[in-house]
Amino acid sequence: MLYMMTWKIMPGCYKAAVERFLETGAPLPEGMKMIGRWHAPGSSHGCLVIEGTAEQAYEHAAEWSDLLEMVTTPVLEDADAGAISAKVAGV
């Protein structure tokens, strides 16, 4: 399953979050695949898209929960979303 994870650094945690990211590279749990990660310039937020299980996404969010507010959303690619939408719309 694909998940989009968005993050925002909590107030007062910017330096600690940057230091941990630079030291560790923010690795994902074993078996999880990163599709991409993006940082919003000049801000304290960004997002990543990963492929894995809900448990792996939860683990990654939990690893950063002391510094980041994270929202995890299951997402579908166009082909899958289109097929479901066509079925629901009856086209």
Task: Please give the chain's pLDDT, 91 residues, in tens.
Answer: 999 999 999 999 999 999 999 999 999 999 999 999 999 998 999 999 999 999 999 999 999 999 999 999 999 999 999 999 999 999 9
In degrees rounded to 5, what are phi and psi of residue 61?
A: -65, -40
pLDDT of residue 73: 97
Q: For 44, which DSSP code?
A: S
Q: Return the amino acid letter for 86.
A: A
pLDDT of residue 27: 97
What's this model's pTM, rounded to 2 decimal places? 0.87
